[in-house]
Amino acid sequence: MKIYILFFVAVVAAVGAKAQAGYNYYQLGVGGGLSYMRGYTNIPRQDNHIGFNANFTYNYNPYLPIELELQKGQLSGGGLTVDKDRYGRKFTNNFLALYLHADVHLGSFIDYGNGWFLNVVKNFYVGSGVGLVRNNNKVQRTNVILANGPYTYVFPGSDQSTNPSIPLRVGYEFKIFDSYDEPGWAIDIGYVHNIVFGEGLDGYDDPIQKFKNNATNQYRQITIGFKYFFGTTVAYNKLVKEYGF
């Protein structure tokens, strides 16, 4: 009789552990990724480049990650001929950026336990935050097109500057569960549009009386990234992994 009781207790404990594991998530994570980026400044022609990022994540819950992200990238545009820029301006910006942002997943708001469709869409997210962009520009400073004025004209601006920025983020996270049925890894695909305050992205601060210079500097990123989660496990109030879906 004692053997049957022990067997029953073991089964109940195993089922309970399995169910509890479905609620658990790791609080911390690290990761990195690539982005396909392009600038939007007062120079119309812009180039596309590949950028890199590394991040540290604190999961407030499975559907609200707070992330510190370091970016390294390049923006460039313009050219020394009229067909590339009517004023002969050209820049290359090898920048570093640091962002603190949070992403809110749809799973925070919906009851996704009733079907496969809601379990799929629960991982869509939107987010925002704050950041600083450290610009390191190489800029064509003097006029090279005589029709625009003398060759001695110097375009105003700074080669090096730091500008505040706000990222606008949207994306999808594919959670990968480990042997404990906890999200141990994730793959993120997203789009980020960064609003940068100041004139540092292209290094030109042209007077609006002479040049069209009335738009806020921006750059966009199409991103893919990988995260590894670790640290203390915490129980959420809903199943993170819904069994059967």
- Per residue in 10-19, pLDDT (tens digit) is 433 344 444 4
**CATH number of 180's domain:** 2.40.160.20
Dihedral in degrees, nearest 10, Cα atoms 38, 39, 40, 46: -80
For residue 189, being part of any structural domain is answered with yes
pLDDT in tens, 181-238: 999 999 999 999 999 999 999 999 877 766 666 678 999 999 999 999 999 999 999 9
For residue 244, being part of any structural domain is answered with no
For residue 123, being part of any structural domain is answered with yes
pLDDT in tens, 35-77: 999 999 989 999 999 999 999 999 999 999 999 999 999 999 9
Mean pLDDT of 116-125: 93
Structural domains of the chain, count = 1
Q: Where are the beta strands (DSSP E) in 42-182?
A: 48-61, 64-78, 90-105, 124-139, 160-177
For residue 245, being part of any structural domain is answered with no
Q: What is the pLDDT of residue 197?
A: 95
Residue in 69, 85, 83 with CA at minimum distance from that of residue 194 = 69
Domain region containing 120 = 2-235
Q: What is the pLDDT of residue 1?
A: 47
For residue 135, being part of any structural domain is answered with yes
What confidence tier does 8 reach under pLDDT thresholds 50, 70, 90?
very low
Residue in 223, 50, 33, 31 with CA at minimum distance from that of residue 125 = 223
Q: How far apart are CA 39 and CA 19, in angstroms?
A: 48
For residue 220, being part of any structural domain is answered with yes
Q: What sign does the CA torsion over 155, 158, 163, 165 have?
A: positive
pLDDT in tens, 150-181: 888 899 999 999 999 999 999 999 999 999 99
For residue 241, being part of any structural domain is answered with no
Over its C-alpha atoms, the chain yields an Rg (Å, rounded) of 25
- Alpha-carbon distances of 34 from 5, 49, 137, rounded to whole Å: 55, 10, 22
For residue 121, being part of any structural domain is answered with yes
